Chain A
Amino acid sequence: DGGITQSPKYLFRKEGQNVTLSCEQNLNHDAMYWYRQDPGQGLRLIYYSQIVNDFQKGDIAEGYSVSREKKESFPLTVTSAQKNPTAFYLCASCRANTIYFGEGSWLTVV
């Protein structure tokens, strides 16, 4: 089945630790995105990449980092510098001007 796979679905981490969320797609899409979803705030763009080895900051990039070494993969690292990391993270990809989403990853930092 083609799609976007995010892992893990649920993740707990202690404050001060970096954590990496995986996003893999087999749709052959060029563009990939990371959004953060918080109650009442909708989806906010963290980073996006329109081509391999290139990525751009979104609206709330501080405390996050990404890489795009392969077309299929766009991992997101939540660093200890992110002040409020507990959230639902959504990876997406785009083709023909339409965004498709993965199932999301819940990150809880305690």
Chain B
Amino acid sequence: AQSVSQHNHHVILSEAASLELGCNYSYGGTVNLFWYVQYPGQHLQLLLKYFSGDPLVKGIKGFEAEFIKSKFSFNLRKPSVQWSDTAEYFCAVTPSGGSYIPTFGRGTSLIVHP
């Protein structure tokens, strides 16, 4: 079975600071990778996803993530955060093909101070 580790549980930044949230997974085969965001009081929304191809994927609201296969990582980045990015961020992984059962990380709570 696969597992997902998010290293930063709580991150506090000031506006305009750069953001990088770590995500590592363990699985021996090919995977699909996702980042979801949950704004306060809202449901989870898909930020971006990687299935294949260019390992640098761009998502909504200026977010991007890079898949580094050798490191089993899929870190989320944003060059300049805004107060409205305050939210909880979840990394998820699922094996490519077969039963589609996503596994989620524990989440990272991001607070951006204006």
Size band of the interface chain B makes with A: 20 to 34
A66-74, A77-85, A96-104: which lies at the B interface?
A96-104
B42-50, B65-73, B76-84: which lies at the A interface?
B42-50
Question: Is A103 touching B106 in the complex (CB atoms < 8 A)?
Answer: no
Question: Is A97 touching B104 in the complex (CB atoms < 8 A)?
Answer: no
Chain A 86-97 interface 0/1 with B at a Cβ cutoff of 8 Å (1 = within): 000010001001
Question: Is B90 touching A90 in the complex (CB atoms < 8 A)?
Answer: no
Taking chain A's interface residues, is the majority helix, strand, or loop, or is none over half, making it mixed?
strand
Question: Is A42 touching B90 in the complex (CB atoms < 8 A)?
Answer: yes
Is B55 an interface residue when CB atoms closer than 8 A count as contact? no
Is B94 an interface residue when CB atoms closer than 8 A count as contact? yes
Question: Is B104 touching A40 in the complex (CB atoms < 8 A)?
Answer: no
Chain B 72-113 interface 0/1 with A at a Cβ cutoff of 8 Å (1 = within): 000000000000000000101010100111111111000000
Question: Is A97 touching B43 in the complex (CB atoms < 8 A)?
Answer: no
Chain A: minimal CB distance from B89 (Å): 11
Taking chain B's interface residues, is the majority helix, strand, or loop, or is none over half, making it mixed?
loop
Q: A97-B32, A97-B100, A99-B34 are in contact. Are A42 and B106 (CB under 8 A)?
A: yes
Question: Is A98 touching B43 in the complex (CB atoms < 8 A)?
Answer: no
Size band of the interface chain A makes with B: 20 to 34
Among B32, B36, B44, which residue has the most Cβ atoms of chain A within 10 A? B44
Cβ–Cβ < 8 Å partners of B27 in chain A: none
**CA of A9 to CA of B94 in the docked complex: distance in angstroms?**
28
Q: What are 7 A-B contacts defined by CB distance under 8 Å?
A: A42-B106, A45-B101, A50-B100, A97-B100, A98-B34, A98-B49, A99-B92
Task: List chain A positions with a Cβ less than 8 A from chain B.
Answer: 31, 33, 35, 40-45, 48, 50, 58, 90, 94, 97-104
